[in-house]
Amino acid sequence: MIAVRDNYHAFTPEEYFLWEEQQLEKYELIDSQVYAMGGGSVNHGRIAIRLTGLFDAHLGDRNCITGNSDVRINILGTNDYTYPNASVSCDDRDKITSQYITYPCLIVEVLSDRTEAYDRGQKFRRYRQNPMLIDYLLVSSTSIAVDLYQKNEAGDWLIFNYQAGDTIALKSIDLHFPIEQIYRGLNLTPAADSQE
């Protein structure tokens, strides 16, 4: 998904929540401005569904929230709200809010040509403000390629690049799975995602 400036009115979070309820599309709130969220390709949607299903099944009865692209994240310490493609929070503080979560330990963004620079740069800088975040997963929708930014015990972010044949290791929810599990049955030819 990509944020596109839609309106120049400065919104408070309360105005944003009320206003967005009346809209047909989803909008992010960044620096008091709303941005329409663009749609993704079929691969984009299928990958996001596979990941949320995988996380939810793995977590089972654990006291965690698995979020899809309809679950907002409040950027800690700000009035900014984003919609990642998937997220997981096991923090009790997120159980008392109904419109967003604030303390995810895992965030996933499925990449497209239009969103990749934003997801790797400015969006990740915002997400890193959350001390609970451990894993930030960036998933290609056009090739078998996943980048995992993972915070170590010292608080430094390490990057792991996964390709065909690799096993992805998510420290935040203690999950290991083959990368092919995300991509099974997808058409990854360039023409398949030309609309993204």
pLDDT at 147: 98
25-29 contacts, C-beta under 8 A, 24 or more apart: 26/69, 26/70, 26/83, 28/3, 28/80, 28/81, 28/82, 28/83, 29/79, 29/80, 29/81
**b/e string for 148-159 if b means 16 or more Cβ within 10 A?**
bbbbeeeeeeee
What is the C-alpha R_g of the chain?
16
* pLDDT mean by block of 10 residues, the chain; 196 residues: 55 91 88 83 94 97 94 95 96 94 97 88 94 97 96 97 98 98 88 49
Token pair for 45: 């949607």
3-state secondary structure of 57: helix
Tens-digit pLDDT profile for residues 138-173: 999 999 999 999 999 999 999 999 999 999 999 999
The pTM score is: 0.89
Domains of the chain: 41-186 (3.90.1570.10)
Provide the pairing of β-strand 135-140 with 106-111: parallel
How remote is the C-alpha of 1 from its chain's centroid?
Answer: 10
Query: DSSP string of 84-103?
Result: -SEEEE--GGGGS-SS-BS-
Asked if 68 and 52 count as a contact pair (C-beta separation under 8 A), the reply is yes
Asked if 35 and 28 count as a contact pair (C-beta separation under 8 A), the reply is yes
Asked if 1 and 85 count as a contact pair (C-beta separation under 8 A), the reply is yes
Q: In one letter, which amino acid is 100?
A: Y
pLDDT at 91: 97
